A and B are shown apart, each in its own frame.
Chain A
Amino acid sequence: MTGTTTTTTTTATTAATATFGAVGAAHTRVEGVAKVTGAARYAGEVPYPELAHGWLVLSTVARGRIRAVESAPVLAMPGVVAVLHHENAPRLNGDYTNAFGVPDPIAQIFQHDRVPFVGWPVALVVAETPEQAREAAEALVVEYDEEPHDVVFAAGLPGVYAPESAPAAQKGDLEVELAASAVVVDAEYSTPEEHHNPMEPHAAIARWDGGRLEVVDSNQGSRFVADELAKLFSLDPQSVRVRSEHVGGGFGSKGTRPHSVAAAMAATVLQRPVRVVLTRRQMFSLVGYRSPTAQRVRLGADADGRLRAFDHRAECLTSTVYEFVERAAEFGRAMYDSDAHYSQTRVVPLDVPTPSWMRAPGEAPGSFALESALDELAEKCGLDPIALRARNEPAVGPVSGLPFSGRNLLACFEEGASRFGWADRDPRPGVRREGRWLLGTGTAASTFPVLSAPSTAAVTAEPDGTFTVRITASDIGTGARTALTLIAADALEVAPERIRMRIADSDFGFAMIAGGSMGTRSWAWAIRVAADELRERLALGGGIPPEGITARSDTSQAVGALEQKERHSFGAQFAEVAVDVTSGEVRVRRMLGIFAAGRIVNPLTARGQFVGGMVWGLSMALHEEAHRDRASGGHVGADLAGYHFSAHADVPDIEADWVDDPDPGDPVGIKGIGEIGVVGAAAAIANAVWHATGVRHRNLPIRPDRVLLAGAGGDRDA
Chain B
Amino acid sequence: MREFDYERAHDVTGAVALLGADPDARYLGGGTNLVDLMKSGVERPARLVDVRELPLDRVEFTRNDGLRIGATVTNSDLAAHPDVRRHYPALTQAVLAGASGQLRNMATVGGNLLQRTRCGYFTDLAKPCNKRVPGSGCPAVEGEHHNHAILGASAHCVATHPSDMAVALTAFDAVISYETADGPGKLPLAEFYLPVGDTPHLETALPPGALITGVTLPAAPVAARSRYRKVRERASYAFAIGSIAAALDVHDGVVREVRLAFGAVASRPWRARAAERALTGGPASAEAFAAAADAELEAARTLPHNGYKVPLMRNLVVAMLTELTEEAAR
In the complex, whether A647 has a CB less than 8 A from a CB of chain B is yes
Q: Which B residues lie within 8 Å of A585 (CB)?
A: 231
- Decide if A644 touches B233 in the complex (CB within 8 Å): yes
Interface string of B133-169 (1 = CB under 8 A from A): 0000001001110100000000000000000000000
Provide the residues of chain B in CB contact with A644, threshold 8 Å: 233-234, 238
Please, which residue of chain B has its CB at the minimum distance from the CB of A131?
A: B1
> Interface with A: B74-82, B118-126, B196-204, B246-254, which one?
B118-126
Residue B282 interfacial (CB < 8 Å): no
A646 touches B234 (CB 8 A): yes
- Tell me, rounded to whole Å, the shortest Cβ–Cβ distance linking A434 to chain B: 15
Beta-carbon nearest neighbor of B239 in chain A: A641
Given contacts A584-B308, A704-B231, contact A647 B120 (CB under 8 A): no
Contact across chains for A708 and B234 when beta carbons are under 8 A apart: no
Residues 230-274 of B at the A interface (beta carbon under 8 Å): 231-238, 241-242
Q: Does B315 contact A (CB under 8 A)?
A: yes
Quick check: A627 and B120 within 8 Å, CB to CB? yes
Complex: how many Å from CA A641 to CA B103?
Answer: 14
Which of A584, A587, A631, A650 is the one whose CB lies under 8 Å from B143?
Answer: A631
> What 1/0 flags go to A568-594 for Cβ under 8 Å of B?
000000000000001111010000000
How far, in whole Å, are A214 and B120 apart by their CA atoms in the complex?
A: 39
Name the A residues within 8 Å of B2 (CB-CB).
Answer: 135
Cβ-closest chain B residue relative to A59: B126
Which residues of chain B have C-beta atoms less than 8 A from A436's C-beta? 319
B142 contacts across to A, CB distance below 8 A: 630-631
Q: Per-position contact with B for A220-259: 1 when CB-CB < 8 Å, else 0?
A: 0000000000000000000000000000000000000000
Knowing A634-B126, A636-B120, A709-B308, the reply to whether A704 touches B144 (Cβ < 8 A) is no
The chain B residue sitting closest to A708, CB to CB, is B308
Say yes or no: A629 contacts B319, CB within 8 Å.
no
Of the candidates B139, B231, B241, B315, the one whose C-beta lies within 8 Å of that of A632 is B139
Closest-CB distance, A619 to chain B (whole angstroms):
9
Selected contact of B311 from candidates A134, A634, A642, A708, CB within 8 Å = A708
Q: Are B241 and A629 in contact (CB under 8 A)?
A: no
> In the assembled complex, which residues on chain B have CB atoms less than 8 Å from the CB atom of A622?
234
A588-634 CB contacts (< 8 Å) to partner B = 622-623, 627, 629-632, 634
Tell me the minimal C-beta distance from B309 to chain A in angstroms: 8
B20 sits at the interface (CB 8 A): no
What is the interface size of chain A, counting residues whose CB is below 8 A from a CB of the partner?
A: 38
Q: A209 in the interface, Cβ–Cβ < 8 Å? A: no
Contact bitstring A126-158, B, C-beta under 8 A = 1, else 0: 000001001100100000000000000000000
For residue A118, give the distance in angstroms from its CB to the closest CB of chain B: 8
- Which residue of the partner chain B has the closest CB to A622? B234
Q: Is B223 on the interface with A (CB-CB < 8 A)?
A: no
Cα of A645 to Cα of B1 in the assembled complex, Å: 28
Check B236 against A637 for contact (C-beta < 8 Å). Answer: no
Given A583-B316, A585-B231, A631:B236 Cβ within 8 A: no
B234 CB → nearest A CB, Å: 5
The residue from B127, B146, B236, B318 contacting A649, defined by CB atoms under 8 A apart? B236
Docked complex Cα distance between A636 and B120 (Å) = 5
The listed residue (B123, B125, B237, B241) touching A705 by CB distance below 8 A is B241
* From B3, B124, B233, B316, contact of A636 by CB (8 A): B124
Give the Cβ gap from B15 to chain A, nearest Cβ, in Å. 27
By a CB distance below 8 angstroms, the chain B residues around A636 are: 120-121, 124, 127, 143-144
Min C-beta distance of A273 to chain B, whole Å: 23
Query: Which residues on the B side are within 8 Å of A584 (C-beta)?
Result: 231, 308, 312
Alpha-carbon separation in the docked complex, A709 to B146 (Å): 13
A444–B242 Cα distance when bound, in Å, is 33
Q: How far is the CA of A649 from the CA of B235 in the complex (A)?
A: 6
B41 adjacent to chain A (CB < 8 Å): yes
Per DSSP, chain A at the interface is loop
Whole-angstrom distance from the CB of A430 to the nearest CB of chain B? 18
Residues of A close to B232: CB separation below 8 A: 704
Cβ–Cβ < 8 Å partners of A60 in chain B: 126
Complex CA–CA separation, A118 to B118 (angstroms): 21
User: Contacts A629-B144, A636-B120, A636-B143 known; A623 to B234 CB distance under 8 Å?
Assistant: yes
Contact-residue size bin, chain B (C-beta under 8 Å from the other chain): 35 or more
Q: Which A residues lie within 8 Å of B233 (CB)? A: 623, 644, 703-704
Within 8 A of B (CB), among A416-461: 436
Min CB distance A617 to B, Å, is 15
Given A644-B233, A647-B235; A582-B315 close (CB under 8 Å): yes
Contacts of A632 in B (CB 8 A): 126-127, 139
C-alpha spacing A622/B238, complex, angstroms: 14
Residues in chain A near residue B120, CB distance under 8 A: 627, 635-637, 642
In the complex, what's the smallest C-beta–C-beta distance from B244 to chain A, in angstroms?
10
**With A705-B146, A708-B308, A709-B311 as given contacts, are A583 and B231 in contact (CB-CB < 8 Å)?**
yes
Expressed in whole angstroms, the Cα–Cα distance for A103 and B234 within the complex equals: 37
B264 to chain A, nearest CB (A): 12
How distant is the Cα of A631 from the Cα of B145 in the complex, in angstroms? Answer: 13
Given contacts A627-B144, A637-B120, contact A587 B126 (CB under 8 A): no
Residues from chain B with Cβ under 8 Å of A629 in the complex: 121, 127, 139, 143-144
Complex Cα distance, B305 from A389, in Å, reads 38
A546-B42 Cα distance, complex, nearest whole Å: 62
Q: Are A135 and B316 in contact (CB under 8 A)?
A: no
Chain B 298-330 interface residues, beta-carbon cutoff 8 Å to A? 305, 308, 311-312, 315-316, 318-319
Closest to B229 in A: A583
CA distance A647 to B118 in the complex (A): 18
Bound form: Cα–Cα A703–B312 in Å: 13
A582 adjacent to B319 (CB under 8 Å): yes
Once the chains are docked, how many angstroms separate the CA of A138 from the CA of B231? 36
CB distance from A284 to the nearest CB of B (A): 11
Contact of B241 among A623, A635, A645, A704 (CB under 8 A): A704
A636-B124, A636-B143 given; A583·B312 CB < 8 A? yes
Chain B, residue nearest A581 (CB):
B315
A135, A634, A635, A647: the one contacting B236 at CB < 8 Å is A647
A-side contacts of B123, CB under 8 Å: 637, 642
A587, B241: Cβ atoms under 8 Å? no
Report the Cα distance A631→B234, complex, angstroms: 28
CA distance A631 to B121 in the complex (A): 12
B235 and A631 contacting across the interface, CB-CB below 8 Å: no
Q: List 30 A-B contacts (CB under 8 A).
A: A131-B3, A134-B1, A436-B319, A582-B318, A582-B319, A583-B242, A583-B319, A627-B120, A629-B121, A631-B139, A634-B124, A634-B126, A636-B120, A636-B121, A636-B124, A637-B144, A642-B118, A642-B120, A642-B123, A644-B234, A647-B234, A649-B235, A649-B236, A650-B235, A703-B233, A704-B231, A704-B312, A705-B241, A708-B311, A709-B308
Residues of A whose CB lies within 8 Å of any CB of B are 60, 118, 131, 134-135, 138, 436, 582-585, 587, 622-623, 627, 629-632, 634-638, 641-642, 644-650, 703-705, 708-709
**What 18 additional pairs, Cβ within 8 angstroms, besides A636-B120, A705-B305?**
A131-B3, A134-B1, A135-B1, A436-B319, A583-B316, A584-B312, A623-B234, A629-B127, A635-B120, A644-B238, A646-B234, A647-B234, A647-B237, A647-B238, A703-B233, A704-B241, A704-B308, A705-B146
